[in-house]
Structure 1
Amino acid sequence: MTLRAWNLTAGILHLVQAVAVAIIVASSVRLLLPVTVEFAVGPPGTAVAPERIPVTSVDIGIGAVVVLLLPAAMHLLVASPVLAARYRSAIESRRNPIRWIELGLSSAIMLYLIAQLNGVSSLVTLVLIYTAQSALVLLLWMQERLGTPARTLQPFVIASAVGIVPWGVIALQVLAPGATIGYDQPGWIRILTVILLLLFFAFGINQWLGFRATPTVTAYVNEERAYIALSLATKAVFAWQVVAGILITHGATS
């Protein structure tokens, strides 16, 4: 299949899943994840628990729909006459900013939601997780602009170091060292987190291979196809695991 066919197929699959997930979410119990802020009480160094104030809540079902709609819009746009010529030119030059814009948005939102599912509720921490993932994507975009094979992989190395941080925060939240009462993590969240960690790692391997590849259009096209497949798999796993979790919650409360 041509890249246009790959994008068209991926766009349709993302869109169909987004509609299906939206229908299920609309007819099920809402799974709301709290967002809070903490303010220090008393002077520094005093053993007084900070005041925790609820700010808002995030509907994880709607979040799953958004995660599917963003790549659907990107794939369908690059397959349409609107961006087809620009996309073709980007592929031929082996630099694709459209991919990085979509990835920066969808992956940051997804990691934000994964953190919330694992018990992270602090607005400050969630914003930093979102920012770290966005920075990772920007660094990979910078690496791509250096060309292939790149003279240096410094942006990729820094991106990898930055990308580990959110997962470390999530692991710390789940393990809860020193806590008398740990986070009672449902099994479906544990499975989702592990699968997505592996898929994020697979994406990193794909990019590393791409940055070291022979600088040909064919090599970049193969990398783009691998990215499309990984992106579809990651978003689908996330969305349908969330749906399963919502249905499990609905069954437990009904």
Structure 2
Amino acid sequence: MDERLRRLRIGNLALAALHAAQAVLILALSNDFSLPVTGAFLDGPPGVTPIGDPETLWEARLGPAVAAFLLLAALDHLVVALPGVHRWYERNLGRGVNVARWIEYSLSATIMVLLIAMLTGISDVAALIGIAGANVAMILFGHLMERTNDRVRPTDWLPFVYGCVAGIVPWVAIATQIVLSVDRGDGPPTFVYVIFFSLFALFNSFAVNQWLQYRKVGRWRDYLVGEWGYLVLSLTAKSLLAWLVFANVLLENTTP
């Protein structure tokens, strides 16, 4: 077990360096492309006074947003590999829990989902808050799944089910936006479809990984196999989104 944990610690350090390097490259090479966050407001009784035209509240720059979710992952992997902290991390893994993972995901995955939503044309601040809230709820239910199941008693699947319900909400909102955009115009560019379908598949792969852990299917009877699964999926999802966004809207002289 000690050798396996040693390899996991080395893996976390390598992933910290890889995520951080990507964040630095994105920041160094990106243009200043931004997307608006908007709001439309009442100026009288609802249903009587029409809602005004959307106003831009602020511009969200995509380069720093992409770097942010990469740096959050880098920080997570670095912290759990630090002297002293890695013992806490390993003890938690022995209980089938990784608190640090869910803290990081609640921030990084939410930034990722918001970025995807905005690329499809969702800009209303209230809609974005709702999407963020649903995604954070999904992550917290993932943490609750681990907290309420010690992998000895019969598994309580309720947190997993609730997490799936919360987690699908942002994707339904994004899909609705895409469908309406196609119905009322030309729809989003091709790269947005690539981002939507690829990241949707990867996000769902996290749920599959947890399902395999708690169903104790094959090698997933060992919690560390699932932990490596989370590490690989996180790297893949973050790297794919980062470079798809970079290549299509953040590359200098790129016209989105």
Report the TM-score when normalising by structure 2: 0.89
Structure 1 position 184, deviation (Å): 3.6
**Is 1:152 equivalent to 2:139 in the alignment?**
no
Q: Which residue of 2 aligns with 1:48?
A: 50
Aligned residues of 2:114 and 2:131 also touching (Cα < 8 A): yes
Report the TM-score when normalising by structure 1: 0.90
Return closer, same or farther for 1:217/1:233 CA change in 2, 3 Å cut-off: closer
Question: After superposition, what is the alpha-carbon deviation per residue over 1:140-162, rounded to whole angstroms, capped at 9, x for unaligned?
Answer: 11111122265320110011011
**Letter in structure 2 aligned against 1:93:** R
Question: After superposition, what is the alpha-carbon deviation per residue over 1:195-215, rounded to whole angstroms, capped at 9, x for unaligned?
Answer: 10010011110011112228x
Distance in 2, matches of 1:182 and 1:217, equals 46
Query: How many aligned positions are there?
Result: 248
Return closer, same or farther for 1:218/1:161 CA change in 2, 3 Å cut-off: closer
- C-alpha RMSD of the superposition: 2.3
Return closer, same or farther for 1:43/1:218 CA change in 2, 3 Å cut-off: closer
| Structure 2 counterpart SS, 1:165 | helix
Which of residues 85, 88, 100 is equivalent to 1:86? 88
Within 5 Å, give how 1:196-235 maps onto structure 2.
196-213=199-216, 219-235=222-238
| Structure 1 counterpart SS, 2:126 | helix
Aligned residues of 1:74 and 1:98 also touching (Cα < 8 A): yes
**Is 1:189 equivalent to 2:208 in the alignment?**
no
Identity of matched residues, %: 34
| Structure 1 counterpart SS, 2:122 | coil
Return closer, same or farther for 1:247/1:66 CA change in 2, 3 Å cut-off: closer
Within 5 Å, give how 1:58-69 maps onto structure 2.
58-69=60-71
Q: Which residue of 1 aligns with 2:122?
A: 120
Bigger relative contact order (CA 8 A; separation at least 6): 1
Structure 1 position 62, deviation (Å): 0.9
Distance in 1, matches of 2:250 and 2:51, equals 36
Distance in 2, matches of 1:210 and 1:203, equals 11
- What are structure 2's unaligned runs of at least 5 residues? none
Return closer, same or farther for 1:205/1:217 CA change in 2, 3 Å cut-off: closer
Structure 1 position 77, deviation (Å): 1.2
Which of residues 156, 160, 177 is equivalent to 1:173? 177
**Letter in structure 2 aligned against 1:158:** Y
Aligned residues of 1:119 and 1:183 also touching (Cα < 8 A): no
| Structure 1 counterpart SS, 2:39 | strand
- What are structure 1's unaligned runs of at least 5 residues? none
